[in-house]
């Protein structure tokens, strides 16, 4: 069986050696030494000013929206995982969709300005598949209209723009360390506050608003990472570079094997060091995709339809507005299996099944 992804697990002994420290201290949550050590290592590795580890990658979106979304209109992308949208709705903000660029698949920054109203508070955009949004253009727009910017960078661990961590962009960036993501802690995530004024309120939000045992700065919730999650992260982190290199090779092999197949591949934005986190291919029609998916499934190969359906079409979105590019892409895009130990043989097999189907189709 070949799944769309396989969680990288470090040697068990690596994990145990971190767990031993939690056992010795009898300290399994509430920002013990392991969580702080993971934050220090991430700060160093990524070259960011501050990072706050959280229990998953969705709560940081909610904390960010609660703080700077202020129940206003949030300009967002219809092409992302549902957590981007559900966080907006959950925080009583109003999603205002802006369609995506047909090749980069990130929010189309040229269409943002016409979506801004006096109620707009924020832009929440996703670096989809780790491909950066046009951060420069978005930052200029935000300045001009006095808006805040949140980036859902759940897919973007290790991505750099102009040789700087992508997490440095936006007033707040968030990441997910879920087991299906390129760097993981089982469940987990992080918040990167780039506006220094937001660091303290976000920290308070993530820990019930505590100001010492009996006082409270503000309302808050529990979004803390546990020591057990941090232990897994500390054990996985040393392998990150190697995981990324292996995925790079897999992407290169897919591109070679699928050359001439008439499929569209993800166009990575200029000046980006990408992380090879996903390998999406875009077919000419949904019918082609369904045929390919079926023949892969018949061989016990399970790609995933990330991201389908387009978020503007979800039942709980009351104002239905068409997003033609996102709706079209989401019907035709399929993420192929990619994980650190996917074999060359498997890549060849997957590619030849795809090519066979496309040839049959075109006859």
**308 is a contact residue toward ligand PLP (CB under 6 A):** no
Write out the binding residues for ligand PLP, residues 65-84 only, by CB under 6 A.
80-81, 83-84
Total Cβ atoms within 10 A of residue 300: 9
Instruction: Specify the 3-state DSSP secondary structure of 98.
Output: coil
Give whole-number Cα distances, 251 to 62, 92, 129, 183, 274, in Å: 33, 40, 13, 17, 11
SS3 string, 9-31, reads CCCHHHHHHHHHHHHHHCCCCCC
Is 230 in a helix, a strand, or coil?
Answer: helix
Positions 237 through 276 that interact with ligand PLP (CB under 6 A):
none
Using the rule CB under 6 A, is 229 a contact of ligand PLP?
A: no
Number of residues counted as binding ligand PLP (CB under 6 A): 14
Pick the closer one to ligand PLP by CB: 75 or 154. Answer: 154
Nearer to ligand PLP among residue 120 and residue 176 (C-beta): 176
Hey, CA dihedral for 50, 54, 56, 62, is it positive or negative? negative
Does residue 304 interact with ligand PLP by CB under 6 A? no
Specify whether the CB–CB gap between 195 and 210 falls below 8 A.
no
**DSSP 8-state class, residue 266:** P
Helix (H, G, I), strand (E, B) or coil at 167: helix
Cα 302 from Cα 3, distance rounded (Å)? 5
Question: Is the Cβ of residue 225 or residue 296 nearer to ligand PLP in the bound state?
Answer: 225
- Cα angle 192, 275, 155 (rounded to 5 degrees) comes to 50
Q: Does 283 bind ligand PLP (CB under 6 A)?
A: no
Contact range with ligand PLP by CB under 6 A, out of 56-64, 231-239, 269-277, 309-317: 56-64
User: Interacting stretch for ligand PLP, rule CB under 6 A, among 53-61, 110-118, 257-265, 279-287?
Assistant: 53-61
The reply to whether 58 sits near ligand PLP by the rule CB under 6 A is yes
Stretch that binds ligand PLP, among 102-110, 112-120, 149-157, 252-260 (CB under 6 A): 149-157
SS3 (DSSP) at 259? coil
The contact mask relative to ligand PLP for 171-210 (x = CB under 6 A, - = no) is -----x-x----------x---------------------
Binding mask 84-123 for ligand PLP (x = CB under 6 A): x---------------------------------------
Tokens matching residue 24: 């010795």
- Classified as helix, coil or strand, 109 is helix
> For binding to ligand PLP (CB under 6 A), which residues are involved?
56-58, 80-81, 83-84, 126, 152, 154-155, 176, 178, 189
């Amino acid at each position: 069986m070949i799944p769309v992804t396989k969680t990288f697990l470090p040697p068990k002994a690596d994990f145990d050696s971190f767990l031993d420290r939690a056992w010795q201290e009898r300290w399994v949550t509430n920002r013990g030494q392991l969580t702080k050590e993971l934050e220090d290592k991430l700060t160093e590795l990524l070259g960011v000013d501050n990072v706050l580890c959280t229990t998953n990658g969705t709560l940081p979106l909610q904390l960010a929206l609660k703080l700077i979304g202020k129940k206003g209109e949030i300009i967002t992308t219809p092409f992302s995982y549902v957590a981007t949208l559900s966080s907006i709705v959950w925080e009583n903000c109003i999603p205002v969709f802006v369609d995506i660029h047909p090749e980069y698949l990130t929010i189309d920054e040229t269409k943002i300005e016409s979506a801004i109203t006096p109620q707009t508070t924020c832009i929440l955009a996703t670096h989809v598949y780790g491909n950066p949004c046009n951060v420069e253009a978005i930052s200029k727009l935000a300045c001009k209209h006095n808006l805040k910017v949140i980036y859902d960078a759940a897919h973007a661990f290790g991505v750099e723009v102009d040789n700087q961590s992508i997490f440095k962009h936006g007033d707040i960036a968030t990441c997910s360390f879920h087991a299906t993501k390129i760097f993981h802690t089982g469940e987990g995530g992080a918040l990167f506050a780039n506006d220094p004024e937001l660091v303290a309120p976000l920290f308070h939000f993530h820990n019930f608003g505590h100001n010492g045992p009996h006082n409270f700065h503000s309302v808050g919730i529990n979004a803390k990472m546990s020591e057990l999650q941090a232990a897994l992260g500390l054990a996985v982190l040393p392998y990150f570079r190697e995981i990324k290199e292996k995925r790079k090779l897999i992407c290169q092999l897919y591109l070679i094997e699928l050359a001439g197949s008439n499929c569209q591949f993800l166009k990575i934005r200029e000046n980006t060091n990408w992380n090879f986190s996903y390998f999406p291919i875009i077919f000419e029609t949904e019918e082609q995709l369904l045929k390919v998916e079926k023949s892969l499934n018949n061989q016990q190969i399970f790609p995933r339809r990330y991201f389908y359906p387009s978020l503007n079409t979800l039942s709980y979105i009351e104002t239905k507005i068409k997003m033609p590019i996102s709706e079209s892409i989401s019907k035709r895009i399929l993420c192929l299996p990619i994980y650190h130990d996917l074999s060359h043989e498997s890549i060849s097999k997957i590619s030849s099944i795809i090519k066979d189907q496309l040839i049959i189709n075109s006859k």
